[in-house]
């Protein structure tokens, strides 16, 4: 019996170095802080600006090395931005322009604002170097949970009055009760993304990296394809989609153990 115990101890001591060397310098756990930048050419950024400017996603993450070429990671995501509310392209048979729904009318649109929190789960493959160093490709799934707010100058309730006249025989007068306020809503979305990048180490513990990513979201496509729907939540979904389609990231991390 003692011989068996001695044999197991001998095997453990013999193969311990090979297990310890999995991962860069034998370390497996990689903490990173990432900032992803997306252009705001067609819509607003977080500072209500448009043109040659950017939005950003803040993404702290933890990566765990499974083998020399493979690892998995999980991250938290924070993102906020302003977005435009587009007027409808069609016209209603009402005396004044506006957005009408169930005898109500929004008028005096202002820009909306979106705040999003999310989580992501990823799988990474490293091409030549030992994970988490070198060139890699990453595939992941993300979930976003976000709130939007849109202030407006008028939220009108429609009141109709029938007026009898000679020609036409009947006319309808429209009266409105003005009620300013703020439209708020919550929504969520699922997305998948693909990323290509590189990590390199400064010394034994500190890492730096950069990457390019592209992604597809399950919401926002109807608003992106047809611009004739002025619903606030649809405009927010479109803004989140356009910020998720592509981006450039810079990263800094630490590999303690």
Residue 149 neighbours by CB under 8 Å, 6+ apart: 112, 113, 182, 183, 184
Mean pLDDT on 179-206: 87
Residue 123 neighbours by CB under 8 Å, 6+ apart: 70, 71, 72, 138, 139, 140
Give the dihedral of Cα atoms 192, 233, 91, 173; nearest 10 deg: 160
Q: Which domains does the chain have, with CATH numbers?
A: 21-254 (2.40.160.20)
Rounded Cα distance between 157 and 179, Å, is 8
| Per-residue model confidence as pLDDT tens digits over 117-165 | 999 999 999 998 788 889 999 999 999 999 998 887 665 666 666 555 5
- Enter the pTM of the model: 0.71
pLDDT for position 12: 44
Give the pLDDT band (50/70/90) at residue 68. confident
Give the pLDDT band (50/70/90) at residue 14. very low
């Amino acid at each position: 019996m003692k011989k068996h115990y001695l044999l197991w101890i001998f095997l453990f001591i013999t193969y311990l170095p090979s297990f310890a060397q999995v991962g860069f310098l034998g370390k497996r756990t990689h903490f990173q802080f990432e900032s992803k930048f997306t252009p705001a050419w067609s819509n607003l950024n977080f500072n209500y600006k448009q043109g040659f400017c950017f939005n950003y996603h803040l993404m702290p993450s933890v990566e765990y090395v499974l083998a020399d070429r493979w690892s998995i990671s999980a991250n938290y995501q924070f993102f906020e931005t302003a977005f435009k509310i587009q007027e409808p392209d069609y016209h209603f048979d009402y005396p004044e322009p506006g957005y009408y729904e169930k005898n109500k009318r929004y008028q005096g649109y202002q820009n909306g604002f979106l705040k999003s929190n999310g989580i992501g789960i990823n799988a990474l493959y490293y091409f030549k170097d030992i994970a988490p160093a070198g060139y890699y490709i990453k595939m992941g799934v993300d979930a976003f949970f976000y709130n939007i707010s849109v202030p407006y100058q008028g939220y009108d309730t429609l009141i109709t009055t029938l007026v009898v006249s000679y020609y036409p025989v009947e006319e309808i007068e429209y009266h409105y009760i003005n009620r300013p306020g703020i439209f708020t809503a919550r929504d969520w979305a699922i997305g998948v993304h693909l990323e290509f990048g590189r990590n390199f180490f400064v010394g034994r513990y500190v890492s730096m990296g950069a990457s390019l990513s592209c992604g597809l979201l399950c919401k926002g496509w109807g608003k992106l394809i047809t611009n004739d729907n002025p619903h606030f939540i649809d405009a927010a979904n479109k803004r989140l989609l356009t910020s998720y389609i592509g981006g450039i990231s810079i990263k800094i991390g630490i590999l303690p153990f």
